Amino acid sequence: MSFKPVSPDTAAPEALPYNRISRPLDRLLTAIGQASAWLWLVVLLVVLANVFSRFILSRGSIALEELSWHLFGAAVMLSLAYAVVRDDHVRVDVLRERFSLRSQAWIELLAIVLLALPVILLMIDALVPYAYQAYLYNERSQAPSGLPYRFIFKSVLPLGLLLVALALLSRALRCSTLLFHFPRALAAPSDDRDRARSQP
């Protein structure tokens, strides 16, 4: 599928325009988010197995219980970027909807550059050594029958935040495209959410 460069002024007024950087970034993050949705099914199966083991067989499993926690956390962390790309994260929509698209873009760009990205980068900087230390010491659960290799889940924390940082970067670039015409906008087909917004 090819996209033709157009002026941001000709893009749909209901949504931020895409550019050559944000479009592939959003597609990648959307694919990761959709793939991580399968983790919720795995979480459900693990929880059901744990319930069956505990209440039917009267044999509770600490390993299954910990696995459900870890999988739940991983599913949440890997889906955060998808929420940003789809614009499904929590915000004060009652106030936001009163502003024009350009005003929304200004507020969002400043919030991303001055608040969100610096905080997330600081968190990544703190979490990478946290996960690496767990790997060096081969950290495992304190419970005798708990799970080993805790560095795997701890590594998901900075990874998930890195994906969020990429999603915010993509969003900031889309705001920049609308406000400054840089990077250049693409005539891209709107997604389901954009089409829904354009309908009366």
What backbone phi and psi angles, to 5 degrees, belong to 18? -90, 160
Rg (CA), the chain: 21
Cα distance between residue 158 and residue 137, in whole Å = 18
**Please, are residues 23 and 173 in contact by the beta-carbon 8 Å criterion?**
no
32 phi/psi in degrees, rounded to 5: -65, -45
pLDDT tens readout for residues 80-104: 999 999 988 776 566 777 889 999 9
Contacts of 120 (CB under 8 A, 6+ apart): 161, 164, 165, 168
pLDDT digits (tens, 9 = 90+) for 15-73: 899 999 999 999 999 999 999 999 999 999 999 999 998 888 888 788 999 999 999 99
Domain coordinates in residue numbering, the chain: 16-92+100-183
User: Over the stretch 57-80, which tens digit does the pLDDT of each residue have?
Assistant: 888 788 999 999 999 999 999 999
**141: exposed, middle or buried (C-beta count within 10 Å: 0-12, 13-18, 19+)?**
middle
pLDDT band at residue 13 using 50, 70 and 90 as cut-offs:
very low
| The two structure tokens encoding residue 62 | 């600490």
